[in-house]
Amino acid sequence: MTARLISVSPSKPEAAAIKDAAAALEAGQLVAFPTETVYGLGADARSDKAVAKIFASKGRPSFNPLIIHGASLEQLEKYADFNDMARELALHFWPGPLTLVLPRKEDSGISLLASAGLPALALRVPSHPVAQALLRKSGLPVAAPSANKSGHISATTPQHVLDELGDKIDVVLGAGRCTVGLESTIIDLTTPTPTLLRPGGVPREPIERITGKLALTASKAARPNSPGQLESHYAPNAAVRLNATHVEADEALLAFGPDMGMKGGVARMNLSPNGDLHEAAANLFSMLHELDKSGARAIAVMPIPEEGLGLAINDRLTRAAAPRPEA
Ligand code: TXA
Ligand code: MG
């Protein structure tokens, strides 16, 4: 695959070009687009499949949660609970380079893979006219990490994006260089004291005028350069047993590939009957969630090959299977 470059004017993007890019997003394709901070690698945030493509193309070794981009505060209020402080921050700094981490609404419709199974969503309204036009035209929540390979520096020009990901994504909406050039500031409002998870495009001082003194991150969850160090991923209530070759009577089975001969258990789902890792990644969090509801004592997971997206899937499963802290 070679990405289709759609070049637009940064300040007045042509309507036909935006319509074209929005249609690609709606069709579940990957569309890199400019924001004021860096280029984002966007996909329909409601679709597990589209979001799985993001992780596959970036070569992330684990599933880092993604920022959900929207056209307006009004739109994003559909997906997460905004308290008074969140609303005040949004009114001051959106559209702009500030990301807010807020409790996800039960019926948000956002892919669990997009937030890596976390009960919180990171939300942002970018100010770049091209990002605004695209988000408005599609009306979609758009999950987008920075448009670079995992571990590489963020892309700030269409050429960076093409060099990094040109053979792995569908469309690059190109509009010159990003003005801020540095990712958004991330504030977590789900902690007792608002916490600065990542310094970025909005300085700390004007934020603290609204929040009071910010706590500095204790969690590694939002350190962009520490893939695989997320601590607070969704853990099912049930225990998780890896590399299962049989199912106990009180277990649920999470199969991968053909599961002939695996009899019994209280519930079963298959990440990908054909052994497709991409499909498995798309299904991972929603199936864990579903099987957890069966009330099984444990979820027995068949072996997943340690290649491609299998690395990220196994990373996540190993975490879910790790001994839990005493309650
Ligand atoms: O400026 C930006 O923020 C750019 C543009 C494209 O919007 N995006 C960006 O995304 O930098 P990314 O994926 O490279 O970094 C997002 C950071 C990650 O470190 C991730 O751990 C954190 O946001 N994050 C996302 N969702 C989170 C959540 N629910 N809780 C805590 N941290 C979260
Ligand atoms: Mg990044």
The rounded percent of the chain whose pLDDT value lies above 70 is 94
Q: Is 48 in the pocket of ligand 1 (CB under 6 A)?
A: no
Choose one of 186, 226, 232 to mutate for the ligand 1 pocket test, by most ligand atoms within 8 angstroms of C-beta: 186
Each residue's pLDDT tens digit, 229-272: 444 455 788 999 999 999 999 999 999 999 877 888 999 999 99
Q: Is 115 in the pocket of ligand 1 (CB under 6 A)?
A: yes
Each residue's pLDDT tens digit, 267-301: 999 999 999 998 998 888 889 888 999 999 999 99
- Quote the pLDDT of residue 73: 98
| pLDDT exceeds 90 at position 88 | yes
| 230 CA closest ligand 1 atom index | 21
> What is the value of pTM for the model shown?
0.86
Q: Is 207 in the pocket of ligand 1 (CB under 6 A)?
A: no
| 37 CA closest ligand 1 atom index | 1
Reading the block at residue 163, the tokens are 């060099």
In this structure, which residue's CA is closest to atom 18 in ligand 1?
222
Rounded to 10 degrees, the C-alpha dihedral 53/80/39/282 comes to 0
Nearest ligand to the CA of 227 is 1
| 221 CA closest ligand 1 atom index | 21
Report which of 163, 168, 214, 208 is spatially closest to residue 188, judged by C-alpha positions. 214
Nearest ligand to the CA of 51 is 1
Q: Is 314 in the pocket of ligand 1 (CB under 6 A)?
A: no
- Quote the pLDDT of residue 221: 46
Choose one of 183, 189, 219, 229 to mutate for the ligand 1 pocket test, by most ligand atoms within 8 angstroms of C-beta: 183
What CA–CA distance (Å, rounded) separates 189 from 85?
8
Kindly write down the DSSP assignment for every residue of 212-251, as one continuous string. Answer: -SPEEP-SSTT-TT-TT--------SSEEE-S-SS--TTE
Q: Is 101 in the pocket of ligand 1 (CB under 6 A)?
A: yes
What CA–CA distance (Å, rounded) separates 200 from 182?
6
Q: What is the rounded average pLDDT for all residues in the chain?
A: 91
In this structure, which residue's CA is closest to atom 13 in ligand 1?
145
Distance in Å, CA 222 to ligand 1 centroid: 7
What CA–CA distance (Å, rounded) separates 129 from 11?
6
| pLDDT exceeds 50 at position 91 | yes
| 41 CA closest ligand 1 atom index | 6
Q: Is 135 in the pocket of ligand 1 (CB under 6 A)?
A: no
Distance in Å, CA 321 to ligand 1 centroid: 25
Cβ contacts of 196 within 8 Å, gap of 6 or more: 185, 186, 187, 188, 204, 207, 214, 215, 216, 217
- Measured from the Cβ of residue 219, the count of other Cβ atoms closer than 10 Å reads 14
- Measured from the Cβ of residue 250, the count of other Cβ atoms closer than 10 Å reads 13
Cα Dmax for the chain: 62
- Quote the pLDDT of residue 218: 52
Q: Is 35 in the pocket of ligand 1 (CB under 6 A)?
A: yes
pLDDT confidence tier of residue 28, bands split at 50, 70 and 90: very high
Each residue's pLDDT tens digit, 147-191: 998 888 889 899 999 999 999 999 999 999 898 888 899 999 999
